[in-house]
Structure 1
Amino acid sequence: MRRKSAKSSHPVGSGTRRPEPERLQKVFARAGLASRRETEDWIRAGRITVNGQTATLGVRVSLSDQVRLDGRLVRQREASGRALAFICHRSPGESLRPAVRDEAGGGADPPNKALVERLPRAAGRRFITVSPMPRIDGGLELVTADGELAAKLQRSVRWLASEFSVRVRGELDEQQLQGILSGTLDSGAHLAVERCESAGGEAANRWYALAARGASGKDVRQLFERQGALVSRVLRTQLGPIALERSLGRGQFRELNSEELRSLLSTHAAPLAVG
């Protein structure tokens, strides 16, 4: 008996509609394998095949197509599948990504896995950090293997209020605090700083809690250093509505639920919790 063609997108008697074919770049980005631009480079280099044929720019694939990268089968993720995102509690100086080994194979393996290496493999192979903190700092990090979701989150965080704990040498005077509250950066741009308050300290070190909209860790460090402060540590403790809870220890992570993701993607997210 002859099989029906798989090309029909609406099989007779089926109540569900098959997903429309998508561009390879979109498929690879959603699978967390590469950005769209990287995928285009791979296509040009002849590294990707579709059903045994070398892929070309503009080709579209469906779930029934066999896609391979360098001969290895690529497992496609359905467009309707829920994208995963995680918050991680990173220690200052801790690596998010695995160290690059030299080509000669020399050097010892790192004693601990990088943060993204501890995330579930089922969530993706290539994780993207949204508004990452500088390596010397730490705190809350937001990561996902879904390229489309990462791009949406990156746009959204520019409008979200975040909170940081900043450790400096000595106590800041009123003039320095006012300079920080002005939000002026080296570029001349201005951050919307909501507050900067003393949060205690030990010995010669003092902690300050700062809240600002659309601020990165690099921006926060720069705000303080422009006022002559000697900054030793910057920790992000809240990103929009997502706070770094005490139960999440350093080096640990947890998956964001659907409601948390929706709140992050909303440019009208709730203001920071005070106190």
Structure 2
Amino acid sequence: MEERLQKLLAQAGLCSRREAERWIDDGRVTVNGKKASVGDKADPRRDKIFVDGKPIGGAEEKVYLMLYKPRGYVTTMKDEHGRKTVADLVRGCGARVVPVGRLDYNSEGLLLLTNDGDLLNALTHPRHEVEKHYEVRVRGNLDNISKLAEPMEIDGYSIRPATVVTIDRDEISAKLRLTIHEGRNRQIRKMCEKCGLEVRRLKRVAMGTMPLDPHLKSGAWRELTNDEIAYLQDIAADVQENL
């Protein structure tokens, strides 16, 4: 049965559908020896589909991981600057998984990884990203904490107002629980900078209603439970219905 190439690459656990489209545009994908175009279809049972000169596999068993990402790791599978990556931490999982969204180099906490391209595409779709919850230690002008919940523009984009709760506070610093709806690059750090606040520590503690496992140590991972997978699949199904 023919399917669009980006779907086949996602089903093979190579990348998300959006990433597959970029690979096709970049000329990295061929079908029966010919360079593919976005929108092309193929049947993996009869067609020879290659990425970077290597054949893709069939649909592999889906893997879903929860990682406690430490600080000092980049959320990519490779880094041209030789920095440590989250791929180094999950190398023994038995599959080629990719991160769901990102956490910047100096941030820590909950990071999901999977080889389920359809789920990945739905959970990171710009029209419906899952709420993300963080614990943030800040210093600076603490009187401006309330401004974090006001409408704000980041990198020319109007973000949805965040939810901010002060967990504790002293004369020089405060610990906040901050919930955002988008996942823009270094969003919380840029929000704090606009409000005259310096981020001292940033930890993602939950995605939607899924918390970081309190038993996971920094750098450790585990497979998601069936209930956690079902929760994510329900979110993905809602996204697909509303596209």
| Count of equivalent residues | 228
- 1:151-189 per-residue CA deviation (whole Å, 9 max, x = no partner) reads 11112894533211111125722xx12211224234462
For the Cα contact (< 8 Å) 2:168–2:176, is it kept in 1? yes
The residue matched to 1:98 in structure 2 has which SS?
A: coil
| Corresponding residue for residue 99 of structure 1 | 79
| Corresponding residue for residue 264 of structure 1 | 232
From the two aligned structures, give the one with the greater strand fraction.
2
Within 5 Å, give how 1:1-12 maps onto structure 2.
Answer: none
Q: From 96, 106, 109, give the equivalent of 1:136.
A: 106
1:228 shift after superposition: 0.7
For the Cα contact (< 8 Å) 1:86–1:254, is it kept in 2? yes
1:123 shift after superposition: 2.4
Larger Rg: 1
TM-score, scaled relative to structure 2 = 0.75
Gaps of 5+ in 1: 1-19, 102-108, 269-275
| Corresponding residue for residue 29 of structure 1 | 10
Q: From 188, 191, 201, give the equivalent of 1:223.
A: 191
From the two aligned structures, give the one with the greater helix fraction.
2
For the Cα contact (< 8 Å) 2:164–2:179, is it kept in 1? yes
Query: Quick one: percent identity of the two aligned structures?
Result: 21
AA partner of residue 78 (structure 2): P
In the superposition, relative to structure 1, how do residues 224 and 265 fare at CA in structure 2: closer, same or farther (>3 Å)?
Answer: farther
- The answer to whether residue 140 in structure 2 is matched with residue 192 in structure 1 is no
| Corresponding residue for residue 123 of structure 1 | 95
Question: Distance between the aligned counterparts of 1:69 and 1:36, measured in 2?
Answer: 10
- 1:191-227 per-residue CA deviation (whole Å, 9 max, x = no partner) reads 23333213357x9543222234345572222222221
Question: Distance between the aligned counterparts of 1:156 and 1:188, measured in 2?
Answer: 12
AA partner of residue 77 (structure 1): A
Higher relative contact order structure (alpha carbons within 8 Å, sequence separation ≥ 6): 2
In the superposition, relative to structure 1, how do residues 255 and 168 fare at CA in structure 2: closer, same or farther (>3 Å)?
Answer: same
TM-score, scaled relative to structure 1 = 0.67
